[in-house]
Structure 1
Amino acid sequence: MTVSIRTDPPVEHATGVTNRIRSRMPEMSGVMLRIADYLLENPDAPLTLTIGELAADSGVSAATITRFCRIIGYTGYAPFRVDLAKDFGRSTARDSWQTDIGRAFGPDDSAPDVLSTLLNAHTRTLRETADVIDLEVMLEIAAAIARSRNVDIYGVGGSAMLADEMQARLYRIGISTHAWSEVHAGLTSAAIQGPDSVALGISNTGRTEETIQMLRQAGRAGALTVAISNNPDSPLVAASTLAIITSAHERFLQPDDLSAKHGQLFVLDLLYLFVAQQNFERTTKRLAASALAVAPHRRPTKAGALSETASPVGV
């Protein structure tokens, strides 16, 4: 099997924006691909060009440049340029793309190189996700979850484990929560939600059909629907009321990149903490009660075992 791999960009490239462009290219039309190719070849051009000048250089209209910016996750040309400038600022502080940013590794790379590459990719995923989080939206979702009658979480395949983890956390602090990965059961639950319910759909690509169907059904039933995805232009995001967008820096040999899941787990963890803050007294009481309930099923530490053995002597 022959695999086509793009040549790694030089150090001066704006890596975050470049990754966004490359990740959306399979979905782009011919004119959008023309802009993408121009920007990949001239990554610093927007730093010095107005939107009109960039449009002229790439052979499109200014309105098309604006649409392109929206496709890759920006509201317009200005925030696109701001992010680009930030990326270039970060790039100048690095010794090299290869050692500090990471790359798709090869069969002859040493174990330390593979470790460093993977670590940098996962770290960058978390940093880029943190950069694009809308805290006001997160707090709005957290408040809705805290006062909800029920929370449904939909995730299929690899996203199912994230749904299960979030379900367990919310349930432990007193939020009635169910996670669904099987579409028939999920649709049944989604159909009986209402205005006092919240439904979360988790999908890295935002194109998992079962998750889209379950989230849409919950929306039709009146629930507040929330998409968690790496793709702001996906059908899942289009089907939701609110969206939490995550980021994945690199794709390696994994069929389902774990760095993307770490970005999603990061926002779910943050959302959980915001929910916990909404009713802190209830949260602490529930956590304490559940910890006490499972304590007898945990083996004591060595120090604890020694103290229990020694206690009769002291009596």
Structure 2
Amino acid sequence: MNISTDKRPSEQPTILSKLQDEIDQLPNALARIAKYILENPEKVLRQSVAELGEFAGSGEASILRLCRQIGFTGFRDFKLALAAEVGRHQLAVVSSSGADPAIDQLQQTLMQNLAIAHSNVDLLTLNGSVAKISNSTEIP
């Protein structure tokens, strides 16, 4: 899913619009990462820094440099902000249905929380925990 990076003058620049604005000035490795993120923002939320590096054709250090260059302390901080941005975009699409504003606000909050929770899940740890619980005879 590609999310529009069009900016309205009254809004602060979004992560995706920052990447779009800076992509031509970035070194090749960082530009490849930015291009991949712009084309796959939802997929990036489910990827580790190593997976993103593999898919974008760049190293983990380059990903961290890009995150810092656009104002984040690291990849986790970047993903949290991206999750909120993707959630807001998804809400904007759904909210155009004209539903009750209170329901729209609740839906926005829930979608943002789910996106943030989803970006924080470490699948290896989760799968390991599930396997341990499944194989145990007693849960302390």
Q: What is the TM-score of this pair, normalised by structure 1?
A: 0.26
Alpha-carbon displacement from aligned partner over 1:138-166 (angstroms, at most 9, x marks no partner) = xxxxxxxxxxxxxxxxxxxxxxxxxxxxx
Question: Gapped runs of 5+ residues in structure 1?
Answer: 1-8, 100-315
One-letter identity of the residue aligned with 2:83: A
Question: Gapped runs of 5+ residues in structure 2?
Answer: 5-12, 97-140
2:47 is aligned to 49
Tell me whether 1:75 sits opposite 2:73 in the alignment.
Answer: yes
Give the count of matched residue pairs: 86
2:27 is aligned to 29
**Bigger RCO (CA 8 Å, 6+ sep):** 2
* Residues in 1 aligned to 2:27 and 2:93: alpha-carbon distance in whole angstroms: 36
* Residues in 2 aligned to 1:10 and 1:65: alpha-carbon distance in whole angstroms: 20
Contact 2:45 2:82 (C-alpha < 8 Å) held by counterparts = yes
2:60 is aligned to 62
Alpha-carbon displacement from aligned partner over 1:109-150 (angstroms, at most 9, x marks no partner) = xxxxxxxxxxxxxxxxxxxxxxxxxxxxxxxxxxxxxxxxxx
The CA deviation at 1:27 is: 2.0
Percent of paired sites with the same residue:
30
The CA deviation at 1:10 is: 4.3
* Residues in 2 aligned to 1:70 and 1:58: alpha-carbon distance in whole angstroms: 17
Q: Highest Rg: 1 or 2?
A: 1
1:250 is aligned to none
3-state SS, counterpart of residue 95 of structure 1: helix
Structure 1 or 2: larger helix share? 2
Structure 1 or 2: larger strand share? 1
Contact 1:24 1:71 (C-alpha < 8 Å) held by counterparts = no
Contact 1:51 1:65 (C-alpha < 8 Å) held by counterparts = yes
1:20 is aligned to 18
The CA deviation at 1:80 is: 0.3
3-state SS, counterpart of residue 93 of structure 1: helix
Tell me whether 1:95 sits opposite 2:93 in the alignment.
Answer: yes
One-letter identity of the residue aligned with 1:79: D
One-letter identity of the residue aligned with 2:30: M
* Residues in 2 aligned to 1:44 and 1:51: alpha-carbon distance in whole angstroms: 14
